[in-house]
Amino acid sequence: MSLRFDDEASRDLRVRVQGVPVDSYPALPPEVARGTVRRITVVGEEVLHRRCREVTQFGSSELARLIDDMFATNAVADGAAIAANQVDVDLQLFVWDITDDWGVRHVGHIANPVLDELPVAQRVLAEESEGCLSVPGPYKLVPRPDHAVVRGRDQDGSPLVIEGRGYFARCLQHETDHLHGRTYLDRLARRERKAALSEMEETKDSVFARRAARAAELGKRDTGRPAEGGA
């Protein structure tokens, strides 16, 4: 399934679940209630810096449980999206719960995502502030195309096509990068990367504290701080 962002679609403010508009949707995805919060990996940990394996066990209870856990972890971290290697799982999978520039909320998951290569004439770069749950604290300007189309499969193995513009397009690209072993820091000049890492060291404790407080608010067990030495 796919969603086009023409004028008619842009006026439809219904929540998109797996790219499909729905008439009603809860404040928290149902997966959050079912899921267990997992430890979020931090830049420097090996699993974040290599290409992830393809998902092959579609329709399994293990995959469904992982998706639930990723939604729960993302909610506790107040994230827009999270990739499997950010919860220390070596699989090509990410989930999202994000509101775009037009006020449309998008919720879903995708396995084995591949970004369409946009023709040069259709690429419009937007330089916007970008952060990452695995780089707790800093935000830096990162140029990315303002339009993205990603193709993959849902948890049952059915083909899935998701289209995004603006902030949602940035999210789709950011998470696909993760599954190739890249973080947004890899798109920065050396000086900016060093500054981001320094800022992370100064701010990460307050970020971890906010996550712990959010976990308590949602009735979830806090998984604690990331492993020392990761960054």
Q: Which is catalytic among the residues 8, 127, 175, 201?
A: 175
Residues in contact with 63: Cβ distance below 8 Å, sequence separation at least 6, in sequence order: 55, 57, 93, 111, 155
Residue 11 phi/psi, 5-degree rounding, is -90, -10
Active site residue 117: no
Let me know: does 118 contact 137? Beta carbons within 8 Å: no
Catalytic residues, by residue number, are: 175
